[in-house]
Structure 1
Amino acid sequence: MNSAAEGSYVEVLSGRPSGRLTEVRSLVVREFERVRALRHEPDVSPLAIIGEHFASRVDDEDAEAAIEVAQRRAESLAGSQRPSNLAVTSFAGEAFDICALDCGWGASEAAELVRELAAVLGEPAAASGAALFLAASRNPQLMELPPRVALQMQLEILVAFAPVEDVSVWVGDTARRVHCVAQVGSPTRTMRRIANRVLQGGSGEAEGRQTIVGVPVYRWGVPWGAIVARRRVDDRDAVDGYLTEAASTISPVIERDMLLERSNARERLLVDAAEKRLLRLGFDLHDGPLQDLAALADDVRYTRRRIVPLIDAGVRGIAAGRFDDFEARLSALDRSLRDLSHSLESSSVTAGPLQRVLEREVNSFQYETGISVDLKLRGHFEPMTRSQKIALFRIVQEALHNIREHSNATAASIDVHGRPDRIEAHVKDDGIGFDVSSTLVDAARRGRLGLVGMGERARLLGGKLDVRSSNGSGTTIEIMLPRWLPVETPAAEESAVV
């Protein structure tokens, strides 16, 4: 909690409110007395009080469910004993992280939570605020988020609990230039200069502008980056403590990002190699079978012109109709092969938004098969890496191919959900289903690796694929791909630093 907010709160409780605080004095005192009474009630758990604090303020189903899980976990760890202050604070920190990520909670909600926690635990607000910051910033579940999201979350937590604002993280490149990779507020040229000085081992404080400070972010004992912030209070030691703690929690995020970058580089090589093979196949289709098909269509038209006039008038119409059917089938085959050739080009997948690419594939599938497909996309899908977009599209494409060839389905559905930390997709059909284990074994023996290839695409990007089916019950394919984008990508253009 910042000192201004804490001072106002103490002023209200001490009975010496200023003019603007007079109106809220009785309300705050009543709330404080309510919490204090609950704290001394032997049958009321502090976890229940803090849980109710969140339940009364959260209106997001996913967040509510996640908070309930965290509360049950904390209660089970406490058993029949009254939970310790550390357990209550840890639960409050985890729940705040959930709300910050899903509901956009910030400094005002943090200040309110600190007051509630201090009253429940009987501790000074400053101590509860610092403990809550540690619990929220050290929450292990933050490491499950993509590095860029985790880094931004750490800064949001810092601004919510620490007496700072306009926080930014800076890194240097091989040309000894610094770039802002994450921020809350607006980075300035002064902040850039301080970050550059910190990375070179210099002071983290601006001359003549003592409100802007910076601390290094270490990796293996070497400064990798810098956190720079504008402080709101004169207590430099307290601000340094918050910034140093934030730097220590950011360092593992950076380490994980570097590991993912190395892994992603290898995955890109594999994906690019596979896409090159598909692209070559597309060219081969265009230069081979499609050209042969065009020549065959010309031969059919030539034959029609020569033969139909020679046929007796009584059956000439029937013969012409048969030629019409044959030409229509050739035209449909030509269109199908051209669509296939186009879909094999990775540029057709990555050039547009994911929704448009999937809609094009679904429309083509429905036109060719007559099978109804319900396509739903929820959440956000940008930014996604090129490899992620290609993998997701190819998996959905292969799933639709299997529905067409093997399912005898009349309807199917595709549900894609872009969550903050992952992309999920479900492809379902109402077909005849199959025995998954025996089908996979048989397909591998015959060299048909469609399902295996789908799983391998997901695995290469750190995800997973699950196939659920049985005879007569349809098939469901579930795909999960974790989000990942490098932290090193600058969060703001150079022109945004003023």
Structure 2
Amino acid sequence: GEIIGAIETLEDITERKKAEDNLRYYLQEITRAQEEERKRIARELHDDAAQVLGSISRQLDNFIRKKQGFAPNEVLFLKDLQVQLNRGLQSMHRFCQALRPSLLDDLGLIPALRSLAKGLQESDGIATDLKVLGGERRFSPEVESLLFRIVQEALNNIGRHAQASEAQVVMEFAEDRIKVSISDNGRGFELSGRVDDLPRSGKLGLAGIQERARLLGGTIEVKSTLGKGTALIVEVPT
């Protein structure tokens, strides 16, 4: 009886592990497909819509400079129109970079993260520092994409919710793992329950980070104190 029970327990564990492996595989495939679709949309926006807007802006600039006889209010209207057009073009460039930054494909994870940090400082006025420890190295496109999305979501959360003046990203390369720490000096929040309870508590951004860390076989730790900021630590085996 004990032997049969042990065999059944072992079979249950094996089946559960197989189901978990299958789920991880499907999630990885979905993530890969999402990244490819993001890349395609970003490329089409850049090569088509952004080029058209840029051309219109240049034509409008030439029109304003060459044409004579405009009333002052007409000149102001055309210049205001050009300003709005250029703002739209800049927004589209930012959107393309958020969808799929060319730096990630061309130069790798660290340059893409530097661009993220610079973007947070420019858009939200949050002084953001990127520190790299250990021997920097490249990973597969899938791993780099997931790590990039983890940091991107964390910095987006800081910009939207933290009311911080400073943020820091630390990438620590070890022989068998990589550790990513994202922290801020913002308002913080009360942690209730386990990390697994994040979706039910409305912390969907953190829940998304947790899922990406799991796809990489990693772990996530969240530390936060009201009035003293938040720290997010993700460790991933390599």
TM over 0.5, shorter chain: yes
Q: Distance in 1 between matches of 2:105 and 2:53?
A: 34
Q: Distance in 2 between matches of 1:275 and 1:473?
A: 37
Please say if 1:336 is aligned against 2:94. yes
Q: Distance in 2 between matches of 1:357 and 1:268?
A: 26
Query: Is the contact made by 2:38 and 2:100 (CA closer than 8 Å) also made in structure 1?
Result: no
Residue number in structure 1 paired with 2:36: 279
- The count of residues paired between Structure 1 and Structure 2 equals 212
Query: Is the contact made by 1:430 and 1:475 (CA closer than 8 Å) also made in structure 2?
Result: yes
Deviations 1:317-339 (A, max 9, x none): 53244224212312211221232
Residue 416 and residue 301 in structure 1: after superposition, are their counterparts in 2 closer, same or farther (change >3 A)?
A: closer
RMSD of Structure 2 on Structure 1 (CA):
3.7
Q: Distance in 2 between matches of 1:423 and 1:287?
A: 33
Query: Is the contact made by 1:268 and 1:387 (CA closer than 8 Å) also made in structure 2?
Result: no
Query: Is the contact made by 1:430 and 1:473 (CA closer than 8 Å) also made in structure 2?
Result: yes
Which amino acid counterpart does residue 116 of structure 2 have in structure 1? Answer: E
Please say if 1:441 is aligned against 2:197. no
Aligned-partner SS, 1:428: strand
Higher RCO structure (Cα 8 Å, ≥6 apart): 2
Residue number in structure 1 paired with 2:224: 469
Residue 388 and residue 297 in structure 1: after superposition, are their counterparts in 2 closer, same or farther (change >3 A)?
A: closer
In structure 1, which of residues 315, 322, 331 is the aligned counterpart of residue 80 of structure 2?
A: 322
Q: Distance in 2 between matches of 1:268 and 1:350?
A: 23
Tell me which structure has the larger Cα radius of gyration.
Answer: 1
* Shift in Å, 1:292: 4.9
Aligned-partner SS, 1:420: coil
Aligned-partner SS, 1:443: coil
* Shift in Å, 1:406: 2.2
Deviations 1:202-241 (A, max 9, x none): xxxxxxxxxxxxxxxxxxxxxxxxxxxxxxxxxxxxxxxx
1:38-437 to structure 2, matched below 5 A, reads: 267=24, 270-287=27-44, 291-292=48-49, 295=52, 313-343=71-101, 349=104, 352-382=107-137, 384-437=139-192
Query: Is the contact made by 1:380 and 1:419 (CA closer than 8 Å) also made in structure 2?
Result: yes
1:474-493 to structure 2, matched below 5 A, reads: 474-483=229-238
Q: Which runs of 5+ in 2 are unaligned?
A: 1-19
* Shift in Å, 1:280: 0.9
Q: Distance in 1 between matches of 2:144 and 2:202?
A: 26
Q: Distance in 1 between matches of 2:208 and 2:229?
A: 21
Residue 265 and residue 440 in structure 1: after superposition, are their counterparts in 2 closer, same or farther (change >3 A)?
A: closer
Q: Distance in 2 between matches of 1:377 and 1:264?
A: 32
Which amino acid counterpart does residue 318 of structure 1 have in structure 2? Answer: L
Q: Which runs of 5+ in 1 are unaligned?
A: 1-262, 484-498
Q: Distance in 1 between matches of 2:45 and 2:89?
A: 16
Which amino acid counterpart does residue 327 of structure 1 have in structure 2? Answer: L
Which amino acid counterpart does residue 461 of structure 1 have in structure 2? Answer: L
* Shift in Å, 1:353: 4.7
Aligned-partner SS, 1:432: coil
